[in-house]
Structure formats: structure tokens, C-alpha cells
Amino acid sequence: MARKAVFLAALAALVLFLFYAQNNFNGYHMQLVILIAINTIVAVSLTMANGFTGVFSLGQVGFMAIGAYTGALISLPPIWKDPMLLPDLPGWMATLNTGDWPDWAALLFACLVGGALAMIISWGVGYPLMRLSGNYVAVATMGFLIIVYTVLVKWDGVTYGSQGLNPIPTYTNVWSAYGWAVLTIYVAMRVKKSSFGRSMISSRDNLIAARAVGVKAHNARLLAFCLCAFLTGVGGSLLAHQIGTVAPNAYYFTTTFNIIIMVVLGGLGSVSGAVAGAIFMTLVPEVLRDYETNVSIGPIHYTEAFGLSQIILALIFILVMIVRPKGLLGDREIDLAGWLPKRGAASTGSR
């Protein structure tokens, strides 16, 4: 009961904050708040695939791109899906018009279809790859990312090529973004504590011992990979409906490394760490950009120092990895209920 009460209190605090942000933040700050939720979805999803199983995937942003493009094609106005412009688009998607739907229903449908397609593709990709381990999986999944990027650039009849898709209706708001973020965190925590989660973690810690006691490591890894792909696809669809456009370059190596940094910085096996990493990697780069122009530090003054924020960020990463090699939280979770006094824990005097 105590844990449930703490969870509900934290959820209520989040709702109050979102109400405050919606009424007091400007457009730029609201976009950052929404981006924190989307990055949280993707980082927590990657924690399930990488942190729980120990199978390091570099291709999850490919599933994010699949979700983004699928959601965008569903939501595009029919005038932009004319067969003359997108001749290879499936008929049902070309004629689908969600503009008359409520915004929340159109966004939910786009997220579910985008996530489902990403999950189906992830099963086909992951079924053979999850039999591998170590660097082999990383290289193979990076190959998948390159394939997705190439298809997005070259398949003009569906994706508009390197130009990308626009204008996409901007349906994503704080409530939809944080609703999916809370659901993702909840699913990840339940999976971690379930029998499947224990199978994932045992196969990560000692694959031979796990197989010896009957753990089906391949099934556990594949489940994590597919679940991660679904939620990552949802995150991609939310991002597309936040910024109103999608382009292949937005879902390539730079985004891949940013998401990996979020997970590694917080701790590979920690859901709480992934959330902390997502918040850090969303806010800190924006704050550091203020130190690239017209800054005075004692006798030092400079007008322009573009790239300084990236240098400072890299130094922070190096320092964290030296002090905390397993990330800020490692495998641990932030347990708010653990702060409550335990029953019978009151101080007792000598008898």
C-alpha cells in the first residue's frame, strides 16, 4: 500500500507540474518539456533491450524512424498523399484521412500503427540476431540502421527521399507525451520484476548458467527487442507529430549516439537511470549553448566559441565514466517508497 501511495503521489506531482508548465511556460520551454518525455520513452525502451539482456543494439533509432514515418504518412493530409507525389504508397494509407478525427484519436492511431510496424520488423530482424552476443549484435544492428536510412533516402515514392515529409499535424502535447512516458516506465519496471525480466538479467549476467537452469535466453532477448522496438516506434511517431516534419538525417548516427549516452550515463540496467539520462541530455546541451556567445569569466571574454558546449559536455561524460564507470545509478532504481519509515523501525532503547 505504501508503494502505491507513493506512486500516486508522484503521479499527482507530475500532473500538477504539467498543468503549471502548460499555463506558464513559453513555446520553447514547452517543446523541451515534451522532448524530455519522448527521450525518456526511447531511453527506457533501449534500457530493456540493452540493459536487461546485455545485448548491445545500435539499431533502435531505425525503429524510431519506422514509427515516425509510418505515423507521419497516416496523419498527412490527403492532398500530400496524391498518387502523383507518392506513387508507391499503399492504397489504404493514401486514402486515409484522420483530419476529421479528434486529435488524440488520430495521434493514438498513428502511434499504435507505427509501433506495431516497428515491432513486426523487429521480430524479423531480431529472431536471427538475438542468437548472437557481444560485438556481433552491435555490428549487425548498426547494419540494420544503415539499411533503414538508405531506404528512407532512396524510396522517393513513399518517403519523399532526403527532403522528408511535411506538413505533419502537430498533435503531440504534454499529456500525450507524458502519458506514453509513464506507461513506458511502468511497463519497464514490471518487466524487470517479472519472470521474463529475471530471465533477461540472468542471461546477461551469466549466459551459460542461465541456460543450464532452463532459461530460454533467445526468447527473453527477442521479447525485450520487440517490446523495445514497439515503444521506440511510438516515441518516433510522437516526435514526428511534435515538430511537424520528418527527415532521414534526424534518425541516424547522431541520434543513435545521443540515446546511447542517455542510457549509459544513467546506468545500463536502471530504468531510473535512463530517465535521469534523458532529462540530462535534453536540458544540459540547451543550457550550455548559452556559453558559446558573449560570455565573460573573470578576465576571459569571448564573443563566439561555437562548439564549446560539446567540449564541456564531453568532459562531463569523461568525468562521470571515471567516477561512476557503471553510470550514475548502475543497476539500481530510485525507490521513493524506500524513504518511508518501516514498520517497527522506531528507535528502541536498551532493555
Q: Give the integer Cα–Cα distance in Å for 48 and 104.
A: 27
Q: How confident is the model at residue 349 (pLDDT cuts 50, 70, 90)?
A: very low
Written as nine digits, the cell of 281 is: 541530455
Render pLDDT for 332-341 as a digit per residue (tens, 0 to 9).
Answer: 887 665 544 4
Residue ranges per domain, the chain? 25-253
| Sign for the pseudo-dihedral over CA of 312, 318, 322, 325 | positive
Render pLDDT for 60-71 as a digit per residue (tens, 0 to 9).
Answer: 999 999 999 999
| Sign for the pseudo-dihedral over CA of 312, 316, 321, 322 | positive
Cβ 34 vs Cβ 203: under 8 Å: no
Average pLDDT over residues 148-161: 91
Average pLDDT over residues 272-295: 85
Q: How confident is the model at residue 171 (pLDDT cuts 50, 70, 90)?
A: very high
Cβ 288 vs Cβ 41: under 8 Å: no
Q: How confident is the model at residue 42 (pLDDT cuts 50, 70, 90)?
A: very high
Q: How confident is the model at residue 291 (pLDDT cuts 50, 70, 90)?
A: confident
Cβ 227 vs Cβ 44: under 8 Å: no
Q: If we measure between CA atoms, which residue out of 149, 72, 120, 131 comes closest to residue 227?
A: 120
Render pLDDT for 89-110 as a digit per residue (tens, 0 to 9).
Answer: 888 888 888 888 999 999 999 9
Report the amino acid identity of residue 60.
Answer: Q
Does residue 343 have a pLDDT over 50?
no
Q: If we measure between CA atoms, which residue out of 113, 92, 121 comes closest to residue 241?
A: 113
